Chain A
Amino acid sequence: MNFFQEAKSLLKVNIRDYGMYIALFVIMLTFTIMTDGLFISSRNISNLLDATGYIAVLAVGMTLVIVIRHIDLSVGFAAGFMGAIAAIMLSQLGVPVYFTIPIILVLGIVIGMFNGVLVASVGIPAFVSSLAGMLIFRGALLQVTEKTGTIIVKDDTFNALGNGFLPSFGKIAGLNVLSLILGALVILYFVYAEVTKRNQKIKYKFEVPSNKIFAIKLVFVSAIIAYVTWILAGYNGFSWTVVITLLVVAIYHFLTTKTVLGRHIYAVGSNPEAAHLSGINVKKITYIVFGSMGMLSALSGILYTARLQSATTTAGTLFELDAIAAAYVGGVSAAGGVGRVTGSIIGAVVMASLSSGMNLLGVGISYQYMIRGAVLALAVIFDVMTRRKRG
């Protein structure tokens, strides 16, 4: 097989996986051209990613919930509520930040697990139980913020999660040093991991892509990481939000693709009866997935409160729908069993890029909603069409 044939067949097989990256690239390129480069400026990209963080972590959890054929509508106000609780603990009760954050995360797990029990053990459809949760958390959020209104958070450590950046350790040619080092480390790790993976495959005598294709892939992905690092280093470097989001994605990506637990989640999603007959505890998986969703709601609430440096009465409004949209744009199947965490993150960035780009262009909010709706529909249509072709 010659080089072009190989590249073509690889593209063809993986078009579904690459589709989202291509779409993101096209959207970014379009906005960059239309705004004379303002879109791709360090400042804008940095702000865009920071504003995506609290939706992105929700989208990660939502991916798994949708993969096991459920939905969670309560995550938005649950995030708002838990953000408010965090604010109260920090500002009114004087609990140190290093206690507040773990307590809120555990609270999130408990809330999520409770939802899981309602769905898996009591047998209430997730749509209904989480709709009820949405109303309850909305009320709870209003209740805790009733007396004081907006709760201002003055803890600098906490607020740094939403606004702060990693220390820079000086600048070289206007670029943030630590961010450059981190970027380089990520590239080194990526190359190391890919080469190990390839060597393992060769040891097992499996077919691997030709050296040329492999090298191109390494250079291509490394270039992208380098470019993103360069852009971010030109402003304030990596923000804590981006670091936390990337950590969450890395952990969940590992969990879903490399572990027994992840496999069980996808098995339950693709055929719950067969999963049960294969000895998989479907209820337990449901508890875990909802528990993780609750924990990520808590994290989302923390990031959002930190970003605003305050808990507001309307925090979390429509977060759940943004997260669900990000997951679907990212290729999660409503029929269950299909969807990647990395895809959902890309989905979240796509949606955020649309907002950011259109804001820069001065597009009215009415058109913004319509365009984002159309993109969501198009993404799902693309997904359905490519799946039909394969099936």
Chain B
Amino acid sequence: MGGNILEKTNGPKAGGPGGNILEMRNISKSFTGVKALQDVNVQVKKGEIHFLVGENGAGKSTLMKVLSGVYPYGTYEGDIVYEGAVQQFTKISDSVKTGIAIIYQELALFPDLSVYENIFAGNEVKKGGIIDWNETIIEARKMLQKVKLNVNPETLIRDLGVGKQQLVEIAKALSKDVKLLILDEPTAALNENDSENLLQLLRELKNQGITCIMISHKLKEVIAIADKATVIRDGKTICTLDASKGEITEAAIIKNMVGRDIEDIYPKRPDKKFGGHILEVKNWSAFDPQLGRNLVKNVDLYVKKGEIVGIAGLMGSGRTEFALSIFGNPRNYKLDGELYIDGKRKKFNHTSDAIKAGIAYVTEDRKGDGLFLIQDIKSNVSAANLKGIASGGVINDNEEIKVGNDYKSSMGIKAPSVEQLVGNLSGGNQQKVSLGKWLFVGPKLLILDEPTRGIDVGAKFEIYTIMNKLIDQGMSIIMISSELGEVLGMSDRIYVMAEGRIKGEIAAEDADQEKIMEFATQ
């Protein structure tokens, strides 16, 4: 393994200049019955910047995982034609060998290693099995020059900002003789300046003949640098827009992105009655000391009794962080601003304070931080309100089973018994257990974070129905969702968040998908 991979050149091979470097033909992929991709077709010409756009969950990332071998050959249908030949990647290293590099939104760097160690991690410069660190540093410098990153290669990744880390990732890809560079939302965590630098770099790489596929939610980026943009919706390719024909406009992208009719899966509430402000926050900010930036900035927001308030926005726009910051602040942000419950100013030191004040938060990551997967249904339902089944600190087991059974039937949880482990339930049923757990607490305000992520249409409808029932019982709901259809279908009023700020407030009757997208992509 003495050969130095860096000495190879980026010479054009099959396909030739102007030909297709990549063609994905009729790609279909399902996960346990749910079709994530359906006959997706994408053609990427050599040397172009090709964007994939679509809503969260449309299938963009899945498509890129198929391409890079994360989902191996045989687990999907269709053909990947790369550099003129059908490829059968069974693992990620197969695609890396052919010059495909993928950079994920969550960077895959080692924070406690230096820049040069990171660039050559897994691709070490070695002579006879022994790493030549001097040579590594020299090569790393060359790579850093290519991406115009002016840092000492011995700097630790931890000490670099996210923007520079992103550039190190690209340098790492370049060191592997990359021909096709895939970037999954590279600018989502970057500020204006870093984003601009990155886009400039991509243009230069393009001039050097590197093809680039990019996933992004920021439409102005698409308009600025895309040669082509393929729109994906609900796992299907809708169209490919061509910049040279002047087809890439904001209007065209949004229209194709959201063009689906809202199906009739959103049950209506006939008589709406709103009361006073159950929750109000004024000039609310949350600063994360670990990241060193504000995740929530000067938010003003209120929720009326009996109201479903939607918070729309893209991933990373600060919606979850906002919810956590008002729900007893479990991540220890530094908070600023005023919080009122029922008109009374409150300060919560712990989630238990927020729960006592009548707030409940159903997390977006039900497996990660919502449920106790190794415990059964009844223990999950009672977990946040053990007092409700105990007297003098001693639990009444039979009462717990009864409560579990009550919620099992009222939520429609499909399981043989309440002794079933929650880890063995389907996503939709797990979500109902989550809801049941919080309803047993009896909150005034229920915060639902992505309440229907990853669950099928039938279960979605059931959850919407439960939401309406709760409103009828006098509860109020904040619904955080990336699914525009759901936000429009269920909300009485909608806030749109981006970059930690409320970018717009829209009454349900005035709202449409284009308006929300405009605010969200500002």
Q: Which residues of A contact B (CB under 8 A)?
A: 200-201, 203-204, 206, 258-264, 266-267, 270-271, 273-281, 337-338, 390-391
Task: Please tell me which stretch of B371-379, B471-479, B498-506 contacts chain A, meaning at least 4 of its Cβ atoms lie within 8 angstroms of it.
Answer: B371-379
In the complex, the chain B residue whose C-beta lies closest to that of A200 is B398
A260-B379 CB under 8 A given contacts A201-B398, A274-B372, A277-B363: no
In the complex, the chain B residue whose C-beta lies closest to that of A387 is B374
Is the CB–CB distance between B369 and A279 below 8 Å?
no
User: Can you list the 4 inter-chain pairs with the closest CB atoms, starting with the nearest?
Assistant: A273-B369, A279-B352, A278-B384, A279-B355
Report 11 cross-chain contacts, Cβ distance below 8 Å, ordered by A residue: A200-B398, A258-B394, A259-B393, A259-B395, A260-B386, A263-B383, A274-B369, A277-B351, A279-B384, A281-B352, A391-B423
Q: Which residues of A contact B395 (CB under 8 A)?
A: 258-260, 262-263
Q: Which residues of B contact A271 (CB under 8 A)?
A: 369, 371-373
Q: Which residues of A contact B354 (CB under 8 A)?
A: 279
Q: Which residues of A contact B374 (CB under 8 A)?
A: 270, 337-338
- Within 8 Å by CB of A266, from B356, B373, B375, B421, lies B375
A276-B371 CB under 8 A given contacts A204-B401, A263-B395: no
Q: Which residues of B contact A337 (CB under 8 A)?
A: 372, 374-375
Output the least CB separation between B82 and chain A (Å).
38
Output the least CB separation between A154 and chain B (Å).
42
Is the CB–CB distance between A259 and B372 below 8 Å?
no
Instruction: Given A200-B398, A262-B395, A274-B363, output 14 extra A-B contacts at Cβ < 8 Å.
Output: A204-B398, A258-B397, A263-B383, A270-B375, A273-B368, A274-B369, A274-B372, A274-B383, A277-B361, A278-B355, A278-B437, A279-B328, A279-B352, A281-B350
In the complex, the chain A residue whose C-beta lies closest to that of B405 is A206
Q: Which residues of B contact A391 (CB under 8 A)?
A: 421, 423-424
Q: Which residues of B contact A274 (CB under 8 A)?
A: 363, 369-372, 383
In the complex, the chain A residue whose C-beta lies closest to that of B382 is A263
Q: Which residues of A contact B369 (CB under 8 A)?
A: 271, 273-274, 276-277
Is the CB–CB distance between A277 and B393 below 8 Å?
no
CA distance A200 to B423 in the complex (A): 29
Q: Which residues of A contact B328 (CB under 8 A)?
A: 279
- Within 8 Å by CB of B379, from A200, A261, A263, lies A263
Output the least CB separation between A261 and chain B (Å).
7
Q: Which residues of A contact B158 (CB under 8 A)?
A: none
Is the CB–CB distance between B352 and A277 below 8 Å?
no
Is the CB–CB distance between B372 and A270 below 8 Å?
yes
CA distance A344 to B424 in the complex (A): 27
Q: Is B269 an interface residue (CB 8 A)?
A: no
Output the least CB separation between B230 and chain A (Å).
37
- Within 8 Å by CB of A279, from B351, B373, B393, B424, lies B351
Q: Which residues of A contact B387 (CB under 8 A)?
A: 260
CA distance A279 to B328 in the complex (A): 9
Q: Is B402 an interface residue (CB 8 A)?
A: yes
Is the CB–CB distance between A276 and B351 below 8 Å?
yes
Interface size class for chain B?
A: 35 or more
- Within 8 Å by CB of A261, from B350, B393, B398, B401, lies B393
A260-B390 CB under 8 A given contacts A267-B372, A278-B437, A279-B384: yes
Per-residue CB contact flags for chain B residues 123-150 toward chain A (1 = under 8 Å, else 0) read: 0000000000000000000000000000
A278-B390 CB under 8 A given contacts A204-B401, A270-B374, A337-B374: no
Name B331-362 residues within 8 Å CB distance of A.
350-352, 354-356, 361
Per-residue CB contact flags for chain B residues 392-431 toward chain A (1 = under 8 Å, else 0) read: 0111011001100000000000000000010110000000
Is the CB–CB distance between A270 and B373 below 8 Å?
yes
Q: Is B276 an interface residue (CB 8 A)?
A: no
Output the least CB separation between B293 and chain A (Å).
22
CA distance A266 to B330 in the complex (A): 19
Q: Which residues of B contact A260 (CB under 8 A)?
A: 386-387, 390, 393-395
CA distance A90 to B243 in the complex (A): 91
Q: Which residues of B contact A276 (CB under 8 A)?
A: 330, 351, 369
Q: Chain B CB within 10 Å — which of A203, A258, A338 has the most? A: A258
CA distance A281 to B354 in the complex (A): 13
CA distance A201 to B405 in the complex (A): 14
Is the CB–CB distance between A278 and B394 below 8 Å?
no
Q: Which residues of B contact A262 (CB under 8 A)?
A: 395
Q: Which residues of A contact B383 (CB under 8 A)?
A: 263, 267, 274-275, 278, 280
CA distance A238 to B61 in the complex (A): 67
In the complex, the chain B residue whose C-beta lies closest to that of A263 is B386
Q: Which residues of A contact B363 (CB under 8 A)?
A: 274, 277
- Within 8 Å by CB of A259, from B352, B356, B361, B394, lies B394
In the complex, the chain A residue whose C-beta lies closest to that of B371 is A274
CA distance A279 to B351 in the complex (A): 5
CA distance A261 to B390 in the complex (A): 11
- Within 8 Å by CB of A204, from B330, B386, B394, B402, lies B402
Q: Which residues of B contact A267 (CB under 8 A)?
A: 372, 375, 383
Output the least CB separation between A157 and chain B (Å).
33
Q: Which residues of A contact B370 (CB under 8 A)?
A: 274, 277
CA distance A336 to B464 in the complex (A): 35
CA distance A338 to B402 in the complex (A): 24
CA distance A203 to B396 in the complex (A): 13
Q: Chain A CB within 10 Å — which of B368, B373, B386, B423 has the most? A: B386
Name B418-468 residues within 8 Å CB distance of A.
421, 423-424, 437
CA distance A69 to B363 in the complex (A): 23
Q: Which residues of A contact B379 (CB under 8 A)?
A: 263
Output the least CB separation between A266 and chain B (Å).
7
Q: Which residues of B contact A270 (CB under 8 A)?
A: 372-375
Q: Which residues of A contact B401 (CB under 8 A)?
A: 204, 206
CA distance A258 to B398 in the complex (A): 11
- Within 8 Å by CB of A206, from B350, B371, B372, B398, lies B398
CA distance A15 to B375 in the complex (A): 17
CA distance A278 to B354 in the complex (A): 10
Q: Chain B CB within 10 Å — which of A264, A276, A278, A281 has the most? A: A278
Name B157-212 residues within 8 Å CB distance of A.
none
Q: Which residues of B contact A390 (CB under 8 A)?
A: 421
In the complex, the chain B residue whose C-beta lies closest to that of A274 is B369
Output the least CB separation between A113 and chain B (Å).
19
CA distance A390 to B387 in the complex (A): 30
